[in-house]
Copies of this chain bind each other. A is one copy, B any other.
Amino acid sequence: MDGSLIISNILNPPILFFFLGMTAVLVKSDLEIPPPVPKLLSLYLLFAIGFKGGVELIKSGITQEVALTLLAAMLMACFVPIYTFFILKLKLDNYDAAAIAATYGSISAVTFITASAFLTELGIAFDGYMVAALALMESPAIIVGLILVNLFTVDEKRELAWSEVLKEAFLNSSVFLLVGSLLIGLLSGEHGWKVMEPFAQGLFYGMLTFFLLDMGLVAARRIKDLQKTGVFLISFAILIPILNAGIGLLIAKLIGMPQGNALLFAVLCASASYIAVPAAIRITVPEANPSLYVSTALAVTFPFNIIVGIPLYLYGIELLWR
């Protein structure tokens, strides 16, 4: 890798605005994206990606290739939280270990979106059904996380929480809007896409850019939390994504995914959830410390993935697929 991938990734406006956001916090500018704008941006991005994915899924249909990809996605979503849980237990208690494991088993939609923007830039094709993989990988980790907590801690009252867990896992606003938009995309097809395109496609980069500006602000504000988390968690937050992406790439190669899809799959495996899962964990495992599971995902893994990870995994693909 001659660094040119990283540089062409970094010179993208969305990534540059992410840096601008981080800089704003570092130099103590009072720049802020006022609430609830960030929430609106994230609703928009979930809507746009889900809807477009649905439209493309109906075009491609559900082939064996699609089924294999979705299966692999499910598998990784269940496997990642289990093995990371045991790594995390080396240093953390069961609650925190399960919470962080769930975070890393799930995915970050914005990392996925950034990766797909990167692929579009480079002219590498990828399939719309990868959004279905994204949707499938959001929830299982939450459930696996809670099973782990139940297995490794003794707490009578926890039993009661199952209905709440399922609700949090499958009906939280991120998952619900993404899956809903995907289904509506499926139902309304090419025809629906035509009327929505200026909104769902035209604004996409701009909205992503503003969202990443805000993410830069948020991630930088979280950086001071990292002092509390310690070296172990920081290394975890960089190494595990690389490892997960690596495993993801091997599976992708095995089942013969095309390169674009393989990158998106690796990014899904490598990314960690900083909205949906923390919200669910806060309710279902209140014993876990939010500043651990939010800050690692937000202030380390997210920036790492969008700046270094995406081009790195693509480099891996170039090596493996040669």
Interface residues of A (CB under 8 A from B): 11-13, 16-17, 20, 23-24, 27-37, 39-40, 43, 47, 51, 117, 121, 167, 171-173, 176-177, 180-181, 184, 187-188, 192, 195-196, 198-200, 202-203, 205-207, 209-210
Contact = CB atoms under 8 A, between A and B. Distances in A.
Contact of A39 (B29, B34, B192): B34
Contacts of A11: 187-188, 192
Given A167-B28, A171-B30, A196 B209 contact: yes
Nearest to A193: B13
Nearest to A16: B184
Contacts of A199: 202-203, 205-207, 209
Given A196-B205, A202-B198, A34 B33 contact: no
The complex is assembled from copies of this chain, and their number is: 3
Interface of A is mostly: helix
Contact of A13 (B167, B192, B198, B206): B192
Contacts of A121: 195
A17 B209 CA distance: 25
B34 A172 contact: no
Given A16-B188, A23-B180, A34 B36 contact: yes
